[in-house]
Structure 1
Amino acid sequence: MEIHLLKFTAALAILWLFYKLFLENDNRHQFKRFYLLASIFFALIVPFITITEYIEATTQSVSLSSNLEFTTVIEQNVQPPEVDYLPIILWSVYGIGVLFFGVKFIVNLFSVFNKIRTSEKYYDQSFIYVLIDKLKIPHSFFSYIFLNKDLYKSAQIPKEVLIHEQTHAQQKHSIDILIMELLQIVFWFHPLIYIMKHSIKLNHEFLADEAVIRQGIEASIYQQLLLAFSSNASKNLPTEIGITSSINYSSIKKRFTVMKTQTSKTRIWISTILLLPIIAILFYNFSSTEYVLKESPENIETLQEDKILNVVVNSEDEILINGKVESFENLEKLLSQFPKENYTVNLTKEKLASNNVFSKVMALFTSYNILIDQVSTQDISKEKQSFQRINEGVSQSLMDEYNLWIKEFKQYSVIKVSHYERIVSIYNLMSDKQRSSVEKYPETPQINRTNQKMNKPSTAQFEAWKNKDTYALWLDGTPIKNSELNNYSIEDIVHFIESKVYRNARSVKYPQPFQTSLYTKEGFAQAYEEAPVKEYNRLADKYSKDILTFLKGSRSDNTELLIQFEQLNRMYDNFAPNLIKEFNILAVPPVPAKFSSKTNFPPPPKPENPPIAKNPTIQDDSKNQMKMDDGENDSNNSRIKTMSFTFSSLKNAKKIDWNLKQAFKDNFAKLNHQDSIKAVLKIEKKVMIDNKRIKDYKTEFTGTFGEVDMMYVKIKQHINELKQE
């Protein structure tokens, strides 16, 4: 409310100042009438206008924010605070002012209608003359014109005065005055309302004076007439004059000046040209802007095209298809109708799963000629995945983002969980030098909603929450009125979180100093068990899609993937073992490294006597793991252990099969790179076999290596050499 009031004041002050400097002495009185009223309504409305600005999403900008509006707070029993009397006093004073000016307006309005009802009236075309004894100042109210009874009957009221008041009545100036009177009731404390009201009434006099002059009356004679009435201007003014249009003699000099003014076209153009940018600037600066993220068409198309089928054989020999337990028969039915294009197929065997069941699943894929992109053995345990990264640090933009979050955290002492998780991840990714140059994030109590114990309220707390001025309440994530607690008993509330909101962090919608989230038994289960799992699966799905985008070469920087991976790892570590089993929660794969163009692979040597392989099939990764040279460090060894080979559709391609296996082995035996990536290399070539027929040769490789493009070139060269033999 305070922000809107300040914006209203600033906008109205600027518009009134422009009027005072450029328009008040202008003779475009009808335009000025519209401008003054429009200025007030523009200043009132513009703070509430929200401009929606759509921001194009880029592949570099990966949003890690959670949709949940939880804040990092320390849960504690908070005693009912002392009552803050200042807001009560201020609102009481404001209410008294509204009541006073409202009553005054009603009394004046009633007085006008009472005079109309009890006084003698004469009708003259569309005007009604109300004759009042001993009336000093002629004035009008809509079509009613109030005149001195004796002067009217003796024909002593000048024609100019009648024309003046008829103009007020004819142009309905009373509407403008009533609008200002109503605004004055609401904004009785605001000086600009009184200033604008004075300017509007003065402009009404300009309009009436202009109408008199247009009737052919000499300006000098009319001015003398106004001076003749000026002696009564400041004496014995009736109270109801405030809501009527009357000859106002307090601004005689200004009116005389405007009567003589002739506005040039140049001045009109200059004032108009100046006004338009002022309105545009006010609209842009005093309205609110809402930024909405818009996915670019390229990203949307990529996500639509990249479809993933994850099949897992878990430790209980259950078959999971994209996280859902299915029977072997359902898997066979699915594969019989499976679209082979635009799909990425991953087959995973948990460490304790039966080899017999896993072999049957693999054979089922082979029987339907479905290419498996990745076959791996995974240890789904509560232990944290081994994750090695090069301590290269983070970019300057992430350093700036981290420092900004730390500054806001220290200022407001409250932060969203998603934002806190992000700054922790950024700090963990910093190099030692970068960490020494920044302030470490403040430690907060460990937030683990999946292991949350119920915090039941006391009777005193339950009753205190019914105070709407002190507490803002949410029940199972939905805002509720404090009075709705009367529909619940204390036994219905099994858990609560309460936090103090400092004055500079409160909003118009929730001005209370305390915010409390209450949970029923059902709401607690949903918020602390189901919701974290759904959020983890949502982020894990996005992480998988971002990896696919990364591997296609759409971007080369993996920093955001590292942040996602750390966040997902922490979430996974917080899950209790029973939740992992109940919801079939899977850990996410490690992060691919950055692409590098410096790696140069030597050409593979040709074997002297290539052996003949019989019916090569998909090989388990445990049988094809490569070993590094003796000089390799532990981190490279751990990365090499993730390599797996998949060969399919190689029937009748015996010689090529052996040579390519040997080529892979020779090249990877010499790998000694710090920059490693996990990627998928697909080679599809038409290879002539015995000059009789063409077979599709497809090799799928999943592993860690420093440069995909160079390997691709070397293998193509090797295939060409084989074709020439």
Structure 2
Amino acid sequence: MITYLLKSGILLFVFYAVYKLWLENEKMLRFNRAYLLLSLVFSLVIPLQLVSFQSIISNETGIVQLNELVIRKGTENLSSISVNDFIIGLILSIYVFMVSLFGIRFFVNLYSFYKKTRRSEVLVINDEKIVLLQETVLPHSFLNTIFINKEEFEKGKIPSELIAHEKAHLQQKHSFDILFIEILQIVFWFNPLLVFYKKAIKLNHEFLADEAVNVQFQSVENYQNLLLDFALNKNTVALASNINYLITKKRLLMMTKKESPIKVVLKICTVSIVGTLLLLVFSSRTIAQTEKSSPKLKEGFAVSYDTTSVKSPEFPGGMVEFYKFIGKNFKMPAAASKNKIQGKVLMEFMVEKDGSLSDIKILKDLGNGLGDEATRVLKLSPKWNPATQEGKPVRVTYALPITIQNDK
């Protein structure tokens, strides 16, 4: 999971950096909208390695370094496992709490639109659903509805450009983009990059709506002056598209920009190349990449392929149960206790295609029967759920370091 989050975080950062440096200031509004949304999707999907560009032999064996196991004289319940369980439980509890908190806020915001619609007068004008609100608020839209102040609407104080702006949001389905990024923020609330993506997506929406208004009314200067009149109004609504969202110099300049077809094609090609390279890098299983980051157990002894691309073997009940199984069954040899032997025993074993353990080896022994005892316990292990690669079972080798502690 940590590897997945790191990879997705790197992809989100790279895609966003490309957007800020290469695309944001260009009048490629529809392409930019697609780019931002696809960047989010690709960043979450590519690390799953659903597609791989390097085939490996199904019988190839990987060597996986397990976490260290501590055996103490007369102690069957391993404190290290208990601490790990507590930390994992704490992290999971915090995550669930935050997801629940943001999820509740999200549904409260959704319900507010439903409540406004139920309590207010609803009109249908030119096939557009308009809700007249009593509170003072700027025109805003959500899904298929435009919300405006009733008094200003009845007095004709709402310019046609503002209605056209919100209508553009509805026609281009901008609310679905906002809902998508909001849901991602609930699930990945700990990732600050999503805040920047949300801001970029909403600003792009305003570019698109501004463009639609100027195409309809053919008066950029008048529309710019109209926006400036609303620039100091901070009354916005969560989840909604708002006319005064980030009325900045950048937004005003975008209205007067002209597209260069050659420049557009160049930028699209460049972005496509970057996306393809990222896909290849993060979807490939390369020996060099894995060996560089894998732990060295002894000379020439390292992970031989990217084990994250393989569905790992599973001990019945999970790895915590495996550690508990070893701790429960390991009997400290009398000689080791008498001589107060302390240190590390390094074991290696293979999980076969049928889940049984084979090739149990002692790579490092402290003597006094400790290596033999570890071998005996591993031979008692029940069958694991075997590893699979592309639906086919594979053999995987594990390295298990066991630290022996004796009372002094």
TM-score (norm 2): 0.70
- In the alignment, which residue of structure 1 is the partner of 2:329? none
Change in CA separation of 1:414 and 1:136 when aligned onto 2, cut-off 3 Å: farther
Rounded Cα–Cα distance in structure 2 between residues aligned with 1:255 and 1:225: 13
Paired residue for 2:338?
none
Deviation per residue, 1:102-131 (Å, 9 max, x gap)? 110111111110101110011013311100
Structure 1 stretches of 5 or more lacking a match? Answer: 58-62, 292-399, 425-440, 457-473, 480-498, 503-725
Structure-2 change in CA distance of 1:174 and 1:415 (3 Å)? same
Between the aligned partners of 1:200 and 1:261, the Cα distance in structure 2 is 19
Q: Corresponding residue for 1:550?
A: none
Aligned-residue CA RMSD (Å):
4.1
Q: Distance in 1 between matches of 2:24 and 2:242?
A: 19
**Alpha-carbon offset, residue 74 of structure 1:** 11
Aligned positions of 1:502-521 closer than 5 A = none
Contact 2:70-2:78 within 8 A present in 1 as well: no
Secondary structure at the aligned position of 1:277 is classed as helix
Question: Is the contact made by 1:71 and 1:416 (CA closer than 8 Å) also made in structure 2?
Answer: no
Q: 2: CA distance between counterparts of 1:44 and 1:21?
A: 22
Give distance in 1, aligned partners of 2:46 and 2:9.
11
Contact 2:227 2:244 survives alignment (8 Å):
no
Q: Does 1:23 align with 2:20?
A: no
Structure 1 residue 289 displacement after superposition: 2.3
Provide the secondary structure at the position in 1 that maps to 2:348. coil
In 2, Cα distance between the equivalents of 1:71 and 1:158? 66
1:101 deviates by: 0.6
**1:160, 1:258 → 2: CA distance?**
17
| Mapped pair 1:34 → 2:30 | no
Q: In structure 1, how many angstroms separate the alpha carbons of the residues matched to 2:57 and 2:169?
A: 55
SS at match of 2:76: coil
Q: Is the 8 Å Cα contact of residues 206 and 255 (structure 1) preserved in structure 2?
A: yes
Equivalent residues in 2 for 1:657-668 (5 A)? none
Q: Is 2:276 aligned against 1:280?
A: yes
Q: What residue is the counterpart of 1:259 in the other structure?
A: 255
The structural deviation recorded for 1:81 is 2.2
Tell me, yes or no, if structure 1 residue 210 matches structure 2 residue 211: yes
Secondary structure, in 3 states, of the residue corresponding to 1:5? helix
Flag the 1:86–1:249 CA change in 2: closer, same or farther, 3 A: same
Does residue 99 in structure 1 map to residue 100 in structure 2? yes
**1:619-648 CA-partner distances (Å, limit 9, x unpaired):** xxxxxxxxxxxxxxxxxxxxxxxxxxxxxx
Q: Secondary structure of 1:243's partner? A: coil
SS at 1:181 equivalent? helix
Which secondary structure does the structure 1 equivalent of 2:136 belong to?
coil
**CA–CA separation in structure 1 for the residues paired with 2:161 and 2:66:** 72
Pick aligned residue for 1:248 from 236, 244, 250: 244
In the alignment, the residues of structure 1 paired with residue 18 and residue 43 of structure 2 have an alpha-carbon distance, to the nearest angstrom, of: 14
Q: Which whole-Å CA distance do the structure 2 matches of 1:226 and 1:260 have between them?
A: 15
Q: For 1:160-559, list aligned pairs within 5 A.
A: 160-232=161-233, 234=234, 236-237=235-236, 241-287=237-283, 289=285, 403-405=299-301, 413-416=346-349, 442-443=364-365, 475-478=382-385
Indicate the percent of aligned positions where both proteins have the same amino acid. 32
Q: Alignment partner of 1:21: what SS?
A: helix
Q: For residue 152 of structure 1, what is the aligned residue in structure 2?
A: 153
The answer to whether the Cα contact below 8 Å between 1:141 and 1:245 also exists between their aligned partners in 2 is yes
Distance 2:138 2:189 in 1: 26
Determine the C-alpha separation between the residues in 1 that align with 2:269 and 2:384: 52
8 Å contact from structure 1 (residues 97, 188) kept in 2: yes
Q: 1:66 to 1:269 in 2, by over 3 A?
A: closer
SS at match of 1:405: coil
Deviations 1:310-363 (A, max 9, x none): xxxxxxxxxxxxxxxxxxxxxxxxxxxxxxxxxxxxxxxxxxxxxxxxxxxxxx
Conservation of the 8 A alpha-carbon contact between 1:48 and 1:288: no
Question: What corresponds to 1:123 in structure 2?
Answer: 124
- Secondary structure (helix, strand or coil) at the match of 1:248 reads coil
1:138/1:147 contact within 8 Å kept: yes
CA distance in 2, matches of 1:412, 1:30: 61
Deviation, 1:198, is 0.7
CA deviation after TM superposition for structure 1 residue 206, in Å: 0.4
Could you tell me how far apart the structure 2 residues matched to 1:92 and 1:205 are? 38
| Amino acid across the alignment from 1:178 | L
Q: Which has the higher contact order (CA 8 A, sep 6+)?
A: 2
The separation in 2 between residues aligned to 1:251 and 1:71, in whole angstroms, is 53
**Per the alignment, do residues 285 and 416 of structure 1 end up closer, same or farther by CA in structure 2, a change over 3 Å counting?**
farther
SS, match of residue 364 in structure 2: coil
Amino acid aligned to 2:105: K
Structure 1 residues 160 and 53: alpha-carbon distance in aligned structure 2, compared to 1, 3 A threshold: same
Q: Distance in 2 between matches of 1:21 and 1:454?
A: 55
Output the CA distance in 2 between the equivalents of 1:28 and 1:53: 35
What SS class does the counterpart of residue 403 from structure 1 fall into? coil
> 2:315 is matched with which residue?
none
Provide structure 2 residue ranges, at least 5 long, that are not aligned to the other structure: 288-295, 305-342, 352-357, 387-398, 403-408
Q: Identify which range, 103-112 or 250-259, moves more after superposition.
A: 250-259
The TM-score normalised by the length of structure 1 is 0.41
Q: Which residue does 1:716 correspond to in 2?
A: none
Corresponding residue number in structure 2 for 1:395: none
User: C-alpha displacement at 1:170, in angstroms?
Assistant: 1.1
Change (3 A) 1:421 1:113: closer
- State whether residues 64 and 422 of structure 1, in contact with CA within 8 Å, keep that contact through their aligned partners in structure 2: no
